[in-house]
């Protein structure tokens, strides 16, 4: 075994050992460990920031953009907010142990499903060091061990954070190996992680599409991923146009750089001439660059021509593609063809059409008369999220604590035999 392979397998062994302890840790024990994490992060803020400075200096030297450097920076405010995040997670209900689907079978067997931790979760992410803390707190609270593989730009920050957390968890009586960071930025380590299916139960990649694609192609471990958010707002012929305007504006402008912001506006031809002129004017005033189909451009000549590529693009910016469609059917077809199954909304006063849209649009969140920006774990009341899944298996949409658990079947008998 190469040194790296051996090292990764040792991490796997440690994580599996931690998982066998965490599986029966009580909510109190896990919260005690989280409180220790919060306190220790507070006490070690200066030391962590010193390590963060190393990453920042190296990043500047390597020509990272100002935006990248900003994401990397653990200033006081970020440290406070990370620590506050840990304390928020303490307050959430522990999903482990919840019993459901309880039944007595005709032969007297009592059967139910029980929520249990998944086991060992591998998280592969890019630059932001706050993921190191958020992800660790969520996996710990849900009774899982975690192996973290952060971006090379943040390696010193991540090592410092992970060490502080592991020490804190151990001081609270749970295994230090509940939280482990891969201590190298060598790519071979990721390859080894992704094949270690006897020791890791789930991989969650967080980052750009190239990273996620690489993980999916190389992993023999189940992966839950989030590719991108090409979200649509469809304004139906029977929409309240005032409401439609507010929702469109909110979905695009309120925070354009995130996955649940709208990228495409679909407008029913019946109300296009009435709705679009004012809407486009308002968007343009807010600095939104507009691209549109032929019919949109007939209504507003200063809209740029949208190419096929535009309909498939997550702008993450003050840009919007606009298409006039014949009817709801065409809107659903457009979403099926160009969407990313993240979040799509209809604005309509017609309840039947709303129900049809809900049924037919195959997205993780389908919304009626509200902004796609609500597609978010905190907004949905999940407390915190480890990501938003655009997959269909296991977890769809915002992934909270419950989605970091699985279930087992429990069967209680008094001597029943199979005939």
Residues 223-282 that bind a copy of itself (CB under 8 A): 223-224, 240, 243, 246-247, 250, 254-255
Site residues (CB under 8 A) for a copy of itself, limited to 123-182 = none
- Stretch of 5-13, 263-271, 283-291, 374-382 lying at the interface with a copy of itself (CB under 8 A): 374-382
Residue 39 has which token pair? Answer: 């306190």
**How far does CA 157 lie from the centroid of its chain?**
22
Phi–psi pair at 227, nearest 5 degrees: -75, -70
In this complex, which beta carbon is closest to a copy of itself, that of residue 301 or of residue 418?
418
Site residues (CB under 8 A) for a copy of itself, limited to 71-130 = 97, 103, 105, 109, 111, 114, 116, 118-119
In this complex, which beta carbon is closest to a copy of itself, that of residue 86 or of residue 194?
194
- Stretch of 1-9, 33-41, 149-157, 404-412 lying at the interface with a copy of itself (CB under 8 A): 404-412
| Closest CB 376 distance from a copy of itself, rounded Å | 9
Rule CB under 8 A: say whether 375 interacts with a copy of itself. Answer: yes
In this complex, which beta carbon is closest to a copy of itself, that of residue 29 or of residue 304?
29
How far is the C-alpha of 82 from the C-alpha of 163, rounded, in Å? 16
Specify which residues 117 forms β-bridges with: 405
# residues near a copy of itself by CB under 8 A: 71
Among 67, 257, 285, 409, binds a copy of itself (CB under 8 A): 409
Among 238, 300, 304, 356, binds a copy of itself (CB under 8 A): 356
Q: 376 and 364 in contact (C-beta within 8 Å)? A: no
- Stretch of 62-70, 123-131, 162-170, 195-203 lying at the interface with a copy of itself (CB under 8 A): 195-203
Q: Please name the residue that has the structure tokens 């840009």.
A: 319
Rule CB under 8 A: say whether 413 interacts with a copy of itself. Answer: yes
Sheet containing 262-268: which strands, arranged edge to edge? Answer: 304-305, 289-292, 319-325, 262-268, 231-235, 343-347
How far is the C-alpha of 252 from the C-alpha of 401, rounded, in Å? 29
Beta strands 145-149 and 179-181: pairing type?
parallel
Q: 149 and 190 in contact (C-beta within 8 Å)? A: yes
How far is the C-alpha of 310 from the C-alpha of 292, rounded, in Å? 9
**CB contact set of 379 (below 8 Å; sequence gap of 6+):** none
In this complex, which beta carbon is closest to a copy of itself, that of residue 70 or of residue 102?
102
In this complex, which beta carbon is closest to a copy of itself, that of residue 350 or of residue 406?
406
In this complex, which beta carbon is closest to a copy of itself, that of residue 319 or of residue 382?
382
Neighbours of 126 (CB within 10 A): 17
Rule CB under 8 A: say whether 374 interacts with a copy of itself. Answer: yes
Among 46, 61, 210, 381, binds a copy of itself (CB under 8 A): 381
Radius of gyration of the chain (CA): 24
In this complex, which beta carbon is closest to a copy of itself, that of residue 57 or of residue 99?
99
Strand ranges in 106-201 using DSSP code E only, listed in sequence order = 110-117, 120-125, 145-149, 179-181
In this complex, which beta carbon is closest to a copy of itself, that of residue 49 or of residue 219?
219
Identify the DSSP state of 178. G
| Closest CB 148 distance from a copy of itself, rounded Å | 20
Phi-psi region of 220 (alpha: psi -120 to 50; beta: other; left: phi over 0): alpha
In this complex, which beta carbon is closest to a copy of itself, that of residue 63 or of residue 381?
381
- Stretch of 127-135, 166-174, 271-279, 390-398 lying at the interface with a copy of itself (CB under 8 A): 390-398
């Amino acid at each position: 075994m190469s040194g790296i392979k051996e090292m990764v397998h040792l991490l796997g062994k440690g994580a599996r050992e931690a998982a066998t302890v965490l599986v029966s840790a009580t909510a109190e024990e896990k919260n005690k460990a989280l409180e220790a994490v919060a306190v220790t992060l507070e006490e070690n803020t200066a030391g962590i920031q010193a390590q963060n400075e190393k990453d920042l200096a190296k990043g500047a030297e390597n020509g990272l953009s100002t935006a990248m450097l900003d994401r990397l920076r653990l200033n006081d405010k970020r440290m406070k907010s990370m620590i506050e995040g840990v304390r928020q997670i303490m307050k959430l209900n522990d999903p482990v142990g919840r019993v459901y689907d309880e039944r007595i079978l005709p032969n007297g067997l009592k059967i139910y499903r029980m929520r249990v931790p998944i086991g060992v979760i591998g998280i592969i992410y890019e630059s932001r060091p706050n993921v190191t803390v958020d992800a660790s707190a969520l996996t710990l609270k849900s009774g899982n061990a975690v192996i973290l593989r952060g971006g090379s730009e943040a390696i010193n920050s991540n090592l410092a954070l992970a060490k502080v957390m592991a020490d804190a968890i151990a001081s609270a009586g749970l295994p230090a190996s509940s939280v482990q960071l891969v201590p190298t930025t060598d790519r071979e380590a990721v390859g080894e992680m992704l094949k270690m299916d006897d020791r890791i139960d789930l991989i969650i990649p967080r980052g750009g599409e190239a990273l996620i694609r690489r993980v999916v192609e190389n992993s023999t471990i189940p992966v839950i991923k989030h590719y991108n958010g090409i979200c649509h707002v469809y304004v139906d012929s029977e929409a309240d146009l005032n409401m439609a305007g507010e929702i469109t504006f909110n979905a695009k402008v309120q925070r354009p750089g995130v996955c649940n912001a709208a990228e495409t506006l679909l407008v029913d031809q019946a109300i296009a001439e009435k709705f679009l002129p004012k809407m486009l004017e308002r968007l343009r005033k807010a600095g939104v660059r507009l691209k549109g189909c032929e019919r949109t451009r007939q209504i507003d000549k200063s809209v740029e021509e949208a190419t096929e590529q535009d309909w498939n693009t997550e702008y993450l910016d003050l840009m919007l593609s606009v298409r006039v469609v014949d009817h709801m059917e065409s809107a659903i077809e457009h979403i099926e063809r160009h969407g990313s199954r993240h979040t799509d909304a209809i604005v309509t006063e017609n309840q039947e059409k709303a129900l049809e849209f809900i049924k037919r649009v195959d997205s993780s969140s389908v919304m009626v008369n509200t902004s796609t920006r609500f597609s978010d774990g905190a907004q949905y009341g999940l407390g915190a999220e480890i990501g938003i899944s655009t997959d269909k298996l296991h977890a769809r949409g915002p992934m909270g604590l419950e989605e970091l658990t699985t279930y087992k079947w429990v069967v209680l008998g008094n001597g029943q035999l199979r005939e």
